Structure 1
Amino acid sequence: MFKQLPAEGYTGNPPEFPLPKMVRTYVEVIDKVRTVKPDNSATISLRRREMKIWREVWALPQGKAWSAPRYQWLWPSIAEYCRLKALVEKAPDANATLVAQLHRYRDQIGLTNAGMRELGWDIADDEVADKRAEAAAETKDKPTSSARDRLKAARAGS
């Protein structure tokens, strides 16, 4: 049996990000001595991106399911996905293993069709949005009246 997730997504607040801040570093070489130093700018940039991705994925339909107590075990994996996605985005030449790991996370947390099937989820049809789209298409196909016709109609209604 499939659990229907709302097509409009999850409107609640995401939980607190469950992973500690990852400190980014750089290597400084002075007189042939290598020293690893924290890179505050890179640390802040990565954390901001992680948090943005965290909020974005929680706004998806899957966020509704994740918010249920029975799926709290997924929260660390969702956070790891967000972190890895942020790291890969910051390194366009990221190694293929990291990129492949992103797909594994997507499956595990239900962001792919296969992952959703595995978790027993389906996204409900958004009938309201479908009707809105139909109405917009009908309006678009109708010829628009001229300013003169609108003025005549307004005078006739007075």
Structure 2
Amino acid sequence: MMPSGPVPKHPSARARRNATFAMVQLPAEGRQGKAPAWPLPADPRRSLVAYWDEQADLLEAQAAEEGDGRRRNRLVDRAARARARAVQVGAECEEASRLERRVWREAWRTPMAVQWERSRWTREVAQYCRLKALAELGDARAAKAALAYADRLGLNPWSMLRLRWEVAPAPAQDAPRATVTRIRDARSDFT
């Protein structure tokens, strides 16, 4: 759900310069230090791995009780599919877990992370990271939810303006001096 109303203009672009809320300056270099500890429990889909393994065990036990025949073959096939599903879900959970931790570390190096830390938004940021990881692995519903979280967390220019956050200009570094070369007067070649 998008917020209602127009996006507030930057104070320097307003025609009327009435008293307004000041913009919060975020450091251009981002938040320094390690990311906070991961606050969420393990991915709840991990319980599906145990479920599919249990189903495979039950089907294999039923197949062992059956004699030779079609029913036994069907039970063996279903057990193999359940075991494969358990392996697939386990691999997806591992990949999502690795990716969400990487997104977590990267998110806490951004300028917006300074404000998240002040506001103690660690769980909200963790939820965003979990959804973002699933979205990057192809989950369309998670992608939609991650976009909504990104908007709330100030991860795009529009939401930063709405939250009244701006990244402070980066400190000027000593730029190498330009060397001035003397240009010869072209007329001197003709005299």
Check whether TM > 0.5: yes
Q: Which residue, 105, 108, 116 being the options, matches 1:66?
A: 116
Cα deviation code 1:57-113 (max 9, x no counterpart):
100001111121xx11x222211111111112122xx32x43222221111111112
Structure 1 letter corresponding to 2:112? Q
How far apart are the structure 2 equivalents of 1:136 and 1:88? 43
5+ long unaligned stretches in structure 2 = 1-21, 60-74, 182-191
**Partner of residue 153, structure 1:** none
**Partner of residue 154, structure 2:** 110
What secondary structure, in the 3-state scheme, does the structure 2 residue paired with 1:118 have?
helix
Structure 1 letter corresponding to 2:115? A
**Partner of residue 119, structure 1:** 163
Question: In the TM superposition, what is the alpha-carbon distance from 1:46 to its structure 2 partner?
Answer: 1.9
What secondary structure, in the 3-state scheme, does the structure 2 residue paired with 1:127 have?
coil
Q: Which residue, 143, 156, 170 being the options, matches 1:99?
A: 143
Question: In the TM superposition, what is the alpha-carbon distance from 1:47 to its structure 2 partner?
Answer: 1.5
More strand by share: 1
> What do you get for the CA RMSD once the two structures are aligned?
2.9
**Partner of residue 56, structure 1:** 106
**Partner of residue 95, structure 2:** 45
Check 1:138–1:63 CA distance in 2 against 1; reply closer, same or farther (3 A cut).
Answer: farther
How far apart are the structure 2 equivalents of 1:136 and 1:124? 23
- Aligned positions, number: 131
How far apart are the structure 1 equivalents of 2:125 and 2:149? 8
Question: In the TM superposition, what is the alpha-carbon distance from 1:2 to its structure 2 partner?
Answer: 1.1
What secondary structure, in the 3-state scheme, does the structure 2 residue paired with 1:21 have?
coil
Question: In the TM superposition, what is the alpha-carbon distance from 1:49 to its structure 2 partner?
Answer: 1.2
How far apart are the structure 1 equivalents of 2:33 and 2:177? 31
Q: Which residue, 30, 36, 40 being the options, matches 1:15?
A: 36
Q: Tell me which structure has the larger Cα radius of gyration.
A: 2
What secondary structure, in the 3-state scheme, does the structure 1 residue paired with 2:86 have?
strand
Cα deviation code 1:118-147 (max 9, x no counterpart):
32211001132xx45xx25947x98xxxxx
Check 1:45–1:99 CA distance in 2 against 1; reply closer, same or farther (3 A cut).
Answer: closer
Q: Is the 8 A contact 2:26 2:168 kept in 1?
A: yes
How far apart are the structure 2 equivalents of 1:15 and 1:82? 13
**Partner of residue 150, structure 1:** none
How far apart are the structure 2 equivalents of 1:115 and 1:136? 36
How far apart are the structure 2 equivalents of 1:103 and 1:18? 21
Q: Is the 8 A contact 2:125 2:153 kept in 1?
A: yes
Identity %: 31
How far apart are the structure 1 equivalents of 2:37 and 2:176? 39
